Structure 1
Amino acid sequence: MGEPGRAIALSQLGQWGGLDRVVRLSYLTKDARGAVVPASGIVRLPDGPRPRDGWPVVSWAHGTSGLGESCGLADSDDLIRSTAPVVEALTDAGYAVVATDYIGLGPDSLGPHAYLHTRSEATAVIDIVKAARTVVIGLSDTWAAAGSSQGGHAALAAGHYADRYAPELDFRGTAALAPASNFEDVIWLMRPGIPALPRAMSGPLAAILAGMSANQQDVDVASYLSDFGKRAVDEVGRSCGPNWESILDGKRPDALLSKPLGDDAFRDALRDYMTVPVAEQGGPILIVHGLRDITVPIPMTLRLLREFREAGTDYELETINTDHTDLRADGGMDDVLDFLDRVIPAG
């Protein structure tokens, strides 16, 4: 099939989210099991003449969109609407933008997507940079990773693997807005009948369990699920995020389970699956978080920052008095652009 980072196909998308000059790129990367598989994403270049050394590249990692093949950047209207302003802001600032669908979220890619799987998110984010440079004229070898929510998790994962996985590239840093982190420490406390867990956690839990079920062999995920949980996890594994609420039918997370998730085997598998690497980051880190975020509550990120400090990893933190949904529009994207201008200036 070829090596990870090889481009398979490049095609024009025409108008995409109100933007022109957007192309779709299919490429090879490594999945959660280490196999070489196809993935896809988009590329957009700035307008105007390219710099002498090429446009610096930002690999953007999007937030949660689902697990099925129609949940990516070519087919999900919700994801296109939320991502197009980011792509426009970055290209207007002089950056070439590549943005992966992640593995499993495009028609050419096998699913279900390994939702919040650290290593395969990282390879998808890095390999689209490698692939784009082989087929798109004018890209520099300097690049940075950036993302929001699930994409913040992916960007931090990419920052950890960047120098070892793609030493031929010049990695400059990571910007993560409200990055998902430390949810594994909540998940392995879950058990049937646990009180007061919010219904909003049911979808992400089902998505993580669906990703684990399809993409790792350390534990038999189905053995932890109720009959309802088995049906819901299977359906979530084939669906986009807007459909999760109806699939879960108002049930709380414990309704998915037939036994506790806290045994050693499950804890080890979950930690290996989704923990954010806090050591050996390849460049400067910016974390931006909303003080009123209830999707990724800020205590989760404060714990991540403590783990960075314990690992000797430097970071910058910006907080904004906003929620998860409005973080980028309420100043988060400006913080990202300011950070990028310092670590990977566009001109």
Structure 2
Amino acid sequence: MRSRRYGVVVGLLSIIVALLAGLVDTPARASTSVDSPGRAIAVSQSGDWGGLDGVYRLTYLTTDARGAVVPAGGIVRLPDGPRPDGGWPVISWAHGTSGLGDECGLADSTDLIRSTAPVVEALTGAGYAVVATDYIGLGPDSLGPHAYLHSRSEATAVIDMVRAARSVIIGLSRSWAAAGSSQGGHAALAAGHHARTYAPELDFRGTAALAPASNFEDLIPLMRPGIPLLPRAMSGPFAAILAGLSANQRDVDVTSYLSSFGKQVVAEVGRSCGPEWESILDGARPDKLVSKSLGDDAFRSALRSYMEVPAADQGGPILVVHGLRDVTVPIPMTYRLLSEFREAGTDYEFETINTDHTDLRADGGMDDVLRFLERVIPSG
């Protein structure tokens, strides 16, 4: 574990120590408004986080799926060494699917911490300051259930994490980029769409998306009882989408489409983490969750509004990387997304790797991300 020269931030006394060390500013300077998105509420040291030192836990305000200003949390880590002129450029990392409950985020989920720590280490090792949100509802700092794959609230959580970190961590640049994998790729692309209008005071440089979830809003409405359209492996994410949709929008009564079994599963998935989904579903196919077709206009419209990846008006360059053997987010879904980018006049770069969903980052996806970032937002 690398030694770091920065002080510990724990409570008021530790904040004073860190102030003297020149690293952490007081949360009060984040905003003059007590309910402003991007305002930091609290900052503390996480100690040994996934084998890494120098990781800080940040609680901040952001905008949820219904437009309310609510608390969320995440982590911050800085590179070693002197900060460059203009400050460290910031990468806002969006993690993949971890669940919907308040123990499924970067504060408490051992699996998520284990999978995210190598990404944080790679990015800080390349000279970037890293901020990573839990999303709303996945940490002890915010109420759930998490609005799983809700495009706009994922975007606001990713963006406001940058604002909040800059308000309390001294030496962070205005320049930032979004990056993420799976659900996080979906979130990063949503953040890229909203970046310049939601946070015009920041300098957004681009988006890197690994196997981004997309176009499930076109597939899910084909679901109906007895039609095994989706594989069993999709039962958990399907239930999570229904749980997030049900709890975080007013356009359609999701429970009216569910079987008795589906209502039970959706309720349990809505308060659990991903590793628990298999036992909750007990091998059931996705179609066992519904009592009628999801293809009516009301459901289609609500689902599209909830989770569609914006193809137009992206705020910077885009890199998409996908595994050819991915069965979690099958690559045809991304081919469809790229077609939508072309139709919208959105430029992008696309790379494929002969790997699956789980191993995409380790099999070269993260290397592609780092090369892209070095071009669009040089680290020094």
- The interval holding the TM-score normalised by the smaller chain is over 0.9
Letter aligned with residue 96 of structure 1: A
Task: Give yes or no for the alignment of 1:93 onto 2:121.
Answer: no
Partner of residue 18, structure 1 = 51
265, 268, 280: which one aligns with 1:232: 265
Task: Give yes or no for the alignment of 1:317 onto 2:315.
Answer: no
Partner of residue 252, structure 1 = 285
Whole-angstrom CA distance in 2 between matches of 1:91 and 1:147 = 15
102, 108, 116: which one aligns with 1:83: 116
330, 341, 346: which one aligns with 2:374: 341
Whole-angstrom CA distance in 1 between matches of 2:114 and 2:141 = 22
SS at match of 1:172: strand
296, 321, 336: which one aligns with 2:329: 296
Partner of residue 19, structure 2 = none
Partner of residue 166, structure 2 = 133
CA contact (8 A) 2:227 2:287 kept: yes
35, 42, 46: which one aligns with 2:79: 46
Offset of 1:124 from its aligned partner?
A: 0.1
Task: Give yes or no for the alignment of 1:156 onto 2:189.
Answer: yes
Letter aligned with residue 314 of structure 2: Q
Whole-angstrom CA distance in 2 between matches of 1:337 and 1:13 = 25
What's the TM-score, normalizing by structure 1? 0.99
Whole-angstrom CA distance in 1 between matches of 2:352 and 2:141 = 38
Q: List alignment gaps of at least 5 residues for structure 2.
A: 1-33
Whole-angstrom CA distance in 1 between matches of 2:236 and 2:353 = 26
Partner of residue 174, structure 1 = 207
Task: Give yes or no for the alignment of 1:28 onto 2:61.
Answer: yes
Letter aligned with residue 216 of structure 1: Q
222, 241, 245: which one aligns with 1:189: 222
Partner of residue 105, structure 1 = 138
SS at match of 1:235: helix
CA deviation profile, 1:85-117 (whole Å, cap 9, x unmatched): 000000000000000000000011010000000
Offset of 1:52 from its aligned partner?
A: 1.5
Whole-angstrom CA distance in 2 between matches of 1:80 and 1:196 = 33
SS at match of 1:16: coil
Whole-angstrom CA distance in 2 between matches of 1:118 and 1:332 = 23
Letter aligned with residue 279 of structure 1: A
CA deviation profile, 1:164-187 (whole Å, cap 9, x unmatched): 000000000000000000011110
C-alpha spacing 1:312/1:196, structure 2 compared with 1 (3 Å): closer
Whole-angstrom CA distance in 1 between matches of 2:368 and 2:322 = 11
Letter aligned with residue 45 of structure 1: L
CA contact (8 A) 2:61 2:71 kept: yes
Letter aligned with residue 103 of structure 1: I
Task: Give yes or no for the alignment of 1:58 onto 2:91.
Answer: yes
What is the aligned length?
347
Whole-angstrom CA distance in 2 between matches of 1:253 and 1:324 = 20
Whole-angstrom CA distance in 2 between matches of 1:262 and 1:293 = 26
Two-structure CA RMSD over aligned residues (Å): 0.6
Task: Give yes or no for the alignment of 1:263 onto 2:296.
Answer: yes
Partner of residue 330, structure 1 = 363
Letter aligned with residue 235 of structure 1: E
Letter aligned with residue 240 of structure 1: C
Whole-angstrom CA distance in 1 between matches of 2:216 and 2:245 = 14
CA deviation profile, 1:201-225 (whole Å, cap 9, x unmatched): 1101100000011000100000000
C-alpha spacing 1:78/1:45, structure 2 compared with 1 (3 Å): same
Offset of 1:197 from its aligned partner?
A: 3.1
SS at match of 2:238: helix
SS at match of 2:47: strand
Query: Structure 1 runs of 4+ off > 2 angstroms?
Result: none
Offset of 1:196 from its aligned partner?
A: 5.3
Task: Give yes or no for the alignment of 1:282 onto 2:315.
Answer: yes
